[in-house]
A = this chain, B = another copy of it.
Amino acid sequence: MNPNYEKCIQACFECLEACNSCYDACLLEDNVKMMADCIRMDRECADMCAFAVQSMQRNSPFAEQVCTLCAEVCQACGEICRQHEAKHCQDCADACFACADACRTMAA
């Protein structure tokens, strides 16, 4: 594995976990309707991060482009999550913004 990818893989993995946890928690909230945009974005971001992790791990010729797109998805997911006050949403926003940074650094 390319050692330059290590930090970004770790950030993507933490974001993946935060997004899937937030998705699960949102589906169990009383007011699911209010969480609909967060549920949708959590899945987008989780699937994107899982894709980015595997792309970096297998040294894909497209790893940089994948991370450029991943940064964009993480940024958008973080902005949605930040608007919700539930702890799982705030934690997810933190992980998303950290991952967006790591992906931008990796792709630079």
What is A's interface to B at a CB cutoff of 8 Å? 1, 9, 13, 16-17, 20-21, 23-24, 27-28, 30-33, 35-36, 39-41, 43-44, 46-48, 50-51, 53-55, 57-62, 65-66, 69, 72-73, 76
| B61 contacts A44, C-beta separation under 8 Å | yes
Kindly state the separation between the CA atoms of A55 and B73 in the bound complex, as whole angstroms: 12
> In the complex, which residues of chain B have a beta carbon less than 8 angstroms from the beta carbon of A57?
16-17, 20-21, 24, 46
The residues of B that contact A28 with a CB separation of less than 8 Å are: 36
What are the residues of chain B within 8 A of A53 when measuring CB–CB? 16, 50
Q: B47 touching A54 by the CB < 8 A rule? A: yes
- Rounded to whole angstroms, the CA-CA distance of A61 and B108 in the bound complex is 24
